[in-house]
Amino acid sequence: MATRTITVATDGARIVATVRGEGPLVVLVPSLGRGASDFDTLAESLAEAGFMAAAIDPRNAGESCGGTENLTLHNYAADVAAVIDHLGGPAHIVGHAFGNRVSRCLATDRPDLVISIALLAAGGLIEPSPEAREALKRSFKTDLPGHLDAVREAFFAPLNDPTPWSDGWWSCVSAAQSMANRATPREDWWYAGSAPMLVIQGLDDVIAPPANGRALRDELGDRVSLIELENAGHALLPEQPEAIARHLLGFINRHTPVAIA
């Protein structure tokens, strides 16, 4: 499937998104310090199924750029909103890991732009262990020995190959995003407005433990569809691409005004 890029000016940033396909819009928001390319396989599946998939490079990842002072999750959500406005929303939103927080903040701030919201590795309530947190920090130190071991420990189920994520790490991006996350109260984004929600959680996720997804389901009831995947950690996308595409397409088809066959 051919790709194209769009560039959108926002308040204090220039955001680049990679777009595939035509049809109802699905916007993809990546994990902490990661970029649009993490969604390449999923975006192909969405485009082949009749959707327009737009994967976002956040501020200072890829060709995107922007200020990082005094940011909150609301700023990152506004960057995503600008892409949706440019492409003619509303949209289905897919947020992976840190991107799930940005996506939920967007759904809270701009519910008019959100048809549905899908969260991959949805954390934010039950914290990782100190060991997992330390492995996460080491994942961004790409020049140190044992980097790939840290990636495996933080992001992948024990038997899965971490080499698909041997690169693609933006440490400056993760630092700014982490500060924005700390500056934003959880109640600003936790409930994600009122859109229907899909949560896909890896049962081997040590960064966003599965209890996070169960807490969302218990709190929000029938609004949440929860899928738990075996043999999947925090990375999810390179670990279980077929399962994620299948569950996501089933969900967004149910919530698209005119379903795609």
Q: What is the 3-state secondary structure (H, E, C) of 135-201?
A: HHHHHCCCCCCCHHHHHHHHHCCCCCCCHHHCCCCCHHHHHHHHHHHHCCCHHHCCCCCCCCEEEEE
pLDDT computed for residue 95 by the predictor: 98
Which residue's entry shows tokens 């929860």? 226
End-to-end CA distance of the chain: 18
Helix (H, G, I), strand (E, B) or coil at 223: helix
Q: What integer pLDDT is reported at residue 258 of this predicted model?
A: 64
CB-count exposure of residue 255 (10 Å: 0-12, 13-18, 19+): middle
Task: For residues 180-200, give the mean pLDDT.
Answer: 95
Q: 43-98, pLDDT tens digit by residue?
A: 999 999 999 999 999 999 999 999 988 999 999 999 999 999 999 989 999 999 99
DSSP string, 1-39: --EEEEEEEETTEEEEEEEE-SSSEEEEE--TT--GGGG
pLDDT at 141: 87
Residue 18: C-alpha distances to residues 71, 160, 167, 248 (Å): 24, 27, 19, 19
pLDDT above 70 coverage of the chain, percent? 98
Q: Using 50, 70 and 90 to split pLDDT, how confident is the model at 261?
A: very low
User: What is the predicted pLDDT for the residue at 124?
Assistant: 86
Going by C-alpha positions, the residue among 4, 38, 37 that lies closest to residue 21 is: 4
- Asked whether the predicted pLDDT for residue 1 surpasses 90, the reply is no
> For the residues 160-171, what does the mean pLDDT come to?
93
Q: For residue 48, what are the contacts with CB-CB under 8 A and spacing of at least 6?
A: 1, 21
- Domains identified in the chain and CATH numbers: 3-128+169-254 (3.40.50.1820)
Confidence of residue 240 (pLDDT cuts 50, 70, 90): very high
Q: What was the pLDDT predicted at 13?
A: 93
Contacts for 153 with CB less than 8 Å, ≥ 6 apart: 131, 132, 135, 206
**CB of 156 closer than 8 Å to CB of 233:** yes
Task: Count H helices and E strands in the chain, helices first.
Answer: 8, 9
Please, which residues have CB within 8 angstroms of residue 187's CB and are 6 or more apart in sequence?
none
pLDDT of 176 reads: 94
Q: What is the pLDDT of residues 99-149, one digit of tens each?
A: 999 999 999 999 999 999 999 999 988 889 999 999 998 998 888 888 999
- Taking the C-alpha atoms of residue 126 and residue 212, their distance in angstroms, rounded to an integer, is 6
165: left (phi over 0), alpha (psi -120 to 50) or beta: alpha
Output the average pLDDT for the chain: 94
Other Cβ atoms closer than 10 A to 130 = 8
Res 224: pLDDT? 96
CA distance 255 to 134: 39
According to the model, what pLDDT value does residue 184 have?
96
